Structure 1
Amino acid sequence: MSLRNSILIIAIILLVDQFVKIYIKTNFIYGEDGQINVTNWFKILLIENEGMAWGAKIPGMHGKLILTVFRILAIFGIGYWLYDASTKHSSKYLMVAIALIFAGAAGNIIDSVFYGVIFDDSYGHLSTAFSDNPYGTWFHGKVVDMLYFPIFEGTFPDWLPFYGGQPFKFFNAIFNIADMAISTGVGILIVFNKKAFAKKESLGTHS
């Protein structure tokens, strides 16, 4: 797989990811009050986070800035990995996986770097782009999430230590297109590990 095709994958994912995020940000009120119930197990709503998995964040005044800078540095590493894989004519599995991870990381970095100075907040009203009163500053934007799949709800059995008797939902995370790209890329590396990292001479006509 050529580097050009990998870049095309990245461009398509970034366009879709940003289109969806901007639409959700400017057409949904923050939280469950503004959600759309597509089905009982699929909901669309606007949630924002600091950019780490499960809404986690680095504590302290400069925690968000540290996270954003780290992610920018990391994406340069992923970009080099993609370029290096292309020069070595690595397998399509590896090239696609890296492209997906790169696109997902880049999509969320765009939110972190730019959204704080582009949008105002979405609490109780619709957000506007290029607002005179943006909610944040450069490198302090929040990542927009919108996809929610509460497929199953239940209660942990009473005999279970710590969590016994407590309610739970599966799947409780709210995520976006960029997160899906990253997860899919990582999944390819795990499930198709041998094919992704196969030596060039063993790939034959399948490389």
Structure 2
Amino acid sequence: MSLKKATLLIVIILIIDQLSKVYIKTHFALNESIEVFSWFQILFVENEGMAWGTKISDFITFISDRTAKVCLTIFRILAVIGIGYWLNQSIKAKQSKMLIVAVSLILAGALGNIIDSVFYGVFFDSSAGQVATFLPTKGGYDAIFHGHVVDMLHFPMWSGVLPDWIPFYGGQYFTFFEPVFNIADMAISTGIGILIFFNKRAFRNDEVSKAQEEIID
């Protein structure tokens, strides 16, 4: 798979991700939702931290939430640089198409969420109790590097009280699937899933495989 095709895949995912987020920001107030199906909702939430809203400051208590936010964003940027290097080297080494697609998906998803974290605080005003404005004249809701990631896809497939016989959680109200995510998260999860479940095929070198086939023939 060529660098041109991998770049095209990344750009397409980025466009879809950012269009969906901008639409949500400019049409929904925070925590507003619409039911598409009984098991699928568009629910606008904002994530200030990592997955499921976890923050670095939850683990490193001596730093403030704002410092933790900047550290997380910088870490994401460094991770993207590393993933981009991995993708470039994989293409040069003519690694399998599956590996290149997987890494491209992860890179696209990471870039999508970084755009939110770096720029959305400047690009939009607050969504609390109102629909946000893009490039407001009075300025955004926060400084650069302090933006919140926009999530909107919610799949509450089942909700109810768990049976008492279930350890630890018996008798409690439970929703499956509770997390709210976005297109970028889907791309990252898909890429990681490919690497985990199709590990042997993904990390197969196409040139080596062809040489092995020629030897066998």
Report the TM-score when normalising by structure 2: 0.90
The counterpart of 2:115, out of the listed 92, 102, 110, is 110
Residue number in structure 2 paired with 1:37: 35
SS at match of 1:62: helix
Equivalent positions of 1:1-207 (< 5 A) are 1-31=1-31, 34-59=32-57, 60=64, 61-131=66-136, 132-204=138-210
CA distance in 2: counterparts of 1:123 and 1:142, whole angstroms: 12
Are the equivalent residues in 1 in contact too, given 2:49–2:56 (CA < 8 A)?
no
Q: What secondary structure, in the 3-state scheme, does the structure 2 residue paired with 1:127 have?
A: coil
Fraction of identical pairs, as percent: 58
Corresponding residue for 2:60?
none
Q: Distance in 1 between matches of 2:209 and 2:122?
A: 47
For 1:54 and 1:156, the matched residues in 2 are separated by: 22
* Cα separation, 2, equivalents of 1:98 and 1:120: 33
Q: Provide Cα deviations, 1:120-140, integer angstroms capped at 9, x if missing partner.
A: 111111100111131110000
Deviation at 1:155, TM superposition (A): 2.3
**Considering only aligned residues, what root-mean-square deviation do their CA atoms show, in Å?**
1.3
Alpha-carbon displacement from aligned partner over 1:161-202 (angstroms, at most 9, x marks no partner): 332211111110100000000000001111111000013344
Equivalent residues of 1:51, 1:108 under 8 A apart: no
- Quote how far apart the aligned CAs of 1:114 are: 0.2
- CA-CA distance at 1:55 after TM superposition: 1.2
Aligned-partner Cα distance in 2 for 1:119–1:39: 29
Hey, what's the Cα distance between the residues in 2 that align with 1:51 and 1:8? 29
Contact 1:51 1:112 in 2 (8 A): no
* SS of equivalent to 2:152: strand
Query: For 2:183 and 2:141, how far apart are their aligned partners in 1?
Result: 23
Q: Which amino acid aligns with 2:95?
A: S
User: 1:22-77 deviations in whole A, cap 9, x for unaligned?
Assistant: 0000100110xx21100111100210011411111121240100000000000000
Could you tell me which runs of 5 or more consecutive residues in structure 1 were left unpaired when the two chains were aligned: none
Aligned pairs, how many?
Answer: 203
Q: Residue type matched to 2:52 in 1?
A: W
Is this contact kept in 1: 2:94–2:205, CA < 8 A? no
TM-score under structure 1 length normalisation: 0.94
Distance 1:121 1:129 in 2: 10
Q: Which runs of 5+ in 2 are unaligned?
A: 58-63, 212-217
| Equivalent-residue separation in structure 2 for 1:117 and 1:201 (angstroms) | 47
When Rg is computed on C-alpha atoms for both structures, the one with the higher figure is 2
Q: Which consecutive segments of 4 or more residues in structure 1 shift more than 2 A?
A: 154-157, 159-162, 199-205
Secondary structure of 2:140's partner? Answer: coil
Quick one: which amino acid aligns to residue 18 of structure 2?
Q
Query: Per-residue CA shift, 1:72-125, capped at 9, x if unaligned?
Result: 000000000000000000000000000000000000000000000111111111
Shifted more, 120-129 versus 75-84: the winner is: 120-129
